[in-house]
Amino acid sequence: MLSKDYNAESPQGDHDRPNAARAGVAKGKVRWYQLASLILLAATLAEFLTGSTPLPLIVIYPPGFVFNVGLYGGGALLIREATIRWRKRWGAVLLLGGAYAVGEEGFAAKTMINPNSPIIGNQAYSHWMGVNWVPLASLTVFHSAFSIAVPLLLIELLFPETKGRRLLGSVGLAITMVLYGLTVFVLTAWLGDPYVLTLGVAVFLVAYASAFILAAYKVPRSFLRAKGDRPDRREFDFFLLGLGFMVSFFIISAGLTPIGGLAHNLLPWPVTDALFFPLTGLTAWYLVRHAGRSGNDLVKIAFVLGVMVIFVPMDLILELGGDAGVLIFTATIIGLLFLLRQRAKRAYKSSPVRFPVIPT
């Protein structure tokens, strides 16, 4: 995910950014296909795979899914537009994903602040000064990487012809911003968790989200850019990296998952929170060190496959518990990744410049 530029290179290259032409809007039907695909994928991926929104609920309560579209779809679309307009890469995507997490989990769902959250349960373990500190960290990481970066990566792989091209004009961008802001406001004030947000906590959350946005705007394009030209590790290594990242994430996320109880019972919450730094840092280091800047679609797909695998047993339990169709959805996403892998292998074989396909 940290390989080739998220947006297209200008003819001048990285060294002449001030004179680079502003990225244009994608043209033709593919623009609308990508727009619809991004919104729907972002709105369904995290919510369906984790069971946060059971699939039958779409039929029982359709407005709930509409809010998911406004929240996840609007957030992912705005982040894609911002990074392209700012001429940034995946480092900025991840930082803006951290700000997105605050809008959803800090304000709309209030899982970052409610010590008795109806969504994630009792959070007395890390509740201090009005904040649930472990959910604050874990949900920032989860939404940044999984709810935002993964859908954007999948859409980039599906529609490579629009890479680096904007999907929204000025009017479309303004409408999306209004709809996203309205979604967060309505959920925060009326339809989300009724837990009362204090002024001090609200100021903290705004400052926390603003820090991510400012960092995304200020970081150089070289931030989290892969060092090598091509991947220098096997696909299977990246699969294990993705799997290890998600397993470790769920173990550290005390109180959010059953296996998170290990950290909950053994460690004080500041230590648990601190563990997210080596987890994310080492994962990012490996990707930067070994993923390569180009010819790396196969290792990107392998990493995401590793991330997805942990949801298979989780969704089996959800399916048996009444979340009908979640296994079909999981199989569809994994099947899509395998189809993308086959397409990438064919593209590498037919390319005039042969990219090395490192054996699995």
Secondary element (H or E) of residue 117 = strand 116-117
16 in a domain, yes or no? Answer: no
pLDDT reported for residue 23: 72
Torsion of CA 86, 285, 342, 144, to 10 degrees: -50
Alpha carbon distance 102, 110 (integer Å): 9
Alpha carbon distance 286, 272 (integer Å): 22
99 in a domain, yes or no? Answer: yes
pLDDT reported for residue 261: 61
201 in a domain, yes or no? Answer: yes
Q: Collect the ranges in the chain with pLDDT lower than 50.
A: 1-21, 355, 357
pTM: 0.91
46 in a domain, yes or no? Answer: yes
189 in a domain, yes or no? Answer: yes
Q: CB under 8 Å to 244, separation ≥6 — which residues? A: 306
322 in a domain, yes or no? Answer: yes
Contact 310, 243 (CB under 8 A): yes
For residue 354, give Cα distances in angstroms to 4, 294, 302, 313.
16, 12, 20, 38
150 in a domain, yes or no? Answer: yes
> Could you give the number of structural domains in the chain?
1
Alpha carbon distance 48, 90 (integer Å): 24
pLDDT reported for residue 350: 75
Residue 191, token pair as written in the block: 């339809």
pLDDT reported for residue 348: 82
Residue 166, token pair as written in the block: 């904007």
pLDDT reported for residue 263: 72
Q: What is the pLDDT of residues 294-303, one digit of tens each?
A: 999 999 999 9
358 in a domain, yes or no? Answer: no
- Helix (H/G/I), strand (E/B), else coil: 88: coil
Dihedral over Cα of 248, 252, 253, 259: its sign: positive
- Structural domain of 188: 25-350
Q: What is the pLDDT of residues 55-68, one digit of tens each?
A: 999 989 999 999 99
Letter for the amino acid at 319? Answer: E
pLDDT reported for residue 351: 64
